A and B are shown apart, each in its own frame.
Chain A
Amino acid sequence: MKINLKVNGILEEVEIEASTVLLDVLRDKLHLTGAKEGCREGECGACTVLIDGQPVDSCLYSAAAAANTEIETVEGISANGLSAIQKAMVEEGGIQCGFCTPGIVMTLTALLRQNADPTPKDVAAALNGNICRCTGYSRIVSATLKAAKNAMAQKAGDAHA
């Protein structure tokens, strides 16, 4: 079957099977390899993308079901250079092997859009579905708080300007 997927604002026509999952379309048809295949059963979060602003495991989400939605991948949020959360992850050392990073970046992008001033507990709760085996999470949490703080400072600055 042919479907149209709107990925990072661009409408793409792709040929899929009814059982195809979104991750396979992104990686194999659209060559967007930011989303990673980890467990392929919704446990690890390495394949996280946003669908209508919500984090979803693309390894178990039906590609056909994603038609008529807004899909965002890590490539989309960094199209104009690193996003605020990505910069903070680099600065704080929230990355080691990097395999989980795109999924974590997507989850935290959703969090920061919904909650401009998260507590460390909010960040930890948001990352329930993203497994990182290297960092121990604490630098990812501090990166998130830093990105939030920077965004709020910038907003306050803009209001004064």
Chain B
Amino acid sequence: MDFIYAQKLEEALNALRTQAGRAKVLAGGTDLMIQIARGEKQPQALIFIGQLKDDLAAVSLSQDGHLNIGALVTHRQICADRQVQASYPALATASASVGGWQTQSVGTLAGNICNASPAADTIPPLLVHEAVVTIQSAARGLRDVSLEYFITGRRQIAIENDEMVVGITLAPLPADTADAYLKVGRRKAMEVAIAGLAMRLTMAGPEIVGELRVATCATGPVSRRAREVEALFSGQKLTDELVTQGASLLGRMIQPIDDTRASAQYRKLVIPKLFRGAVLECLAKLGIAISGLEKS
């Protein structure tokens, strides 16, 4: 195996083109190095991008209010970033629950989505905020793809051999919007999610939902938005009954598996609870109290 130190972004892209599918891009390596040690991945070269901090290690706000997160931004940076905390706190919560401090020091948000684990904490919050993944190649330059289309299957992503992710972009929030990320694990820290749920709630008036978005993880091979559930809420009065209906539909829609962490049946029971919890957390963040809507 070769180890290639990219000193410039173009060098990384040129190396990817030359290697034509034989190379993997290495940043923090918290997933990749274990996969190599286990023999699950056997690249012929590692292209190390950790020295491209000038190009890829910043969280920056564009003039039109979009938040750009470079491919080398670590979970630790995400948790501590004021802009993320202010606008997308669910993402900060999710990044704070990826492994321990050691993983968060070097593990990147971009790496987390490229690994595309069904249990990746950061994917549901990025999905409800309709994150856009920016991909670059030496041959074709830049292209953007919605995260929803970027993750195509369990540990599968829509990326060509000569391409790498260079950043993730989040759009500015509409007014009266809050988000939440709730996770069930056996302990608070260092735990792969048994089930996780992110929600983004936009209110259109007192008690009237403008838009509700919800996505889950560890509930199927791929994290997805639950659009049938979302559609129930659009423009509707938010009532306890509607939340129960949405929670129950979500529980029926997900297709979890039995594994060492929990049974599929448990996941189907816990996801509706997380759904209700997320509605209440979003409302609390918006300072809205709706009578009759309570924790079950």
Using CB atoms and an 8 Å cutoff, list the residues of chain A in contact with chain B.
Answer: 1, 17-19, 21, 40-43, 45, 48, 51, 54-57, 60-62, 64-65, 67-68, 107, 110, 125-131
Contact = CB atoms under 8 A, between A and B. Distances in A.
Nearest to A16: B3
- For chain B, give the interface size range: 20 to 34
Interface in B22-64: 26, 28-30, 33-34, 36-37, 45-46, 48, 50-51
Contacts of B28: 61
Provide the main secondary structure of the chain B interface: mixed
Question: Top 5 A-B pairs ranked by shortest CB distance?
Answer: A129-B100, A128-B189, A18-B3, A54-B105, A128-B100
A126 B102 CA distance: 9
A27 B133 CA distance: 39
B26 A129 contact: no
Contacts of A51: 105-106
26 contacts: A1-B3, A18-B46, A21-B37, A42-B34, A42-B103, A43-B190, A51-B105, A54-B106, A55-B105, A56-B102, A57-B30, A60-B29, A60-B30, A60-B33, A60-B34, A61-B29, A62-B26, A62-B48, A64-B5, A65-B50, A107-B102, A125-B101, A126-B101, A127-B100, A130-B100, A131-B190
B99 interface: yes
Nearest to B97: A128
Contacts of A40: 37
Contacts of A1: 3
Contacts of B241: none
B1 interface: yes
A19 B34 CA distance: 10
B76 interface: yes
B1 A56 contact: no
A65 B27 CA distance: 8
A65 B30 CA distance: 12
A128 B190 contact: yes
B33 A21 contact: yes
Contacts of A126: 101
B26 to A, nearest CB: 6
B102 A64 contact: no
A129 B33 contact: no
Nearest to A52: B105
A56 B28 CA distance: 10
A60 to B, nearest CB: 5
B215 to A, nearest CB: 25
A77 B5 CA distance: 29
B99 A42 contact: yes
Contact of A19 (B30, B36, B99, B103): B36
Given A40-B37, A42-B102, A129-B103, A65 B2 contact: no
Contacts of A68: 51
Contacts of B3: 1, 18, 62, 64
A19 B167 CA distance: 26
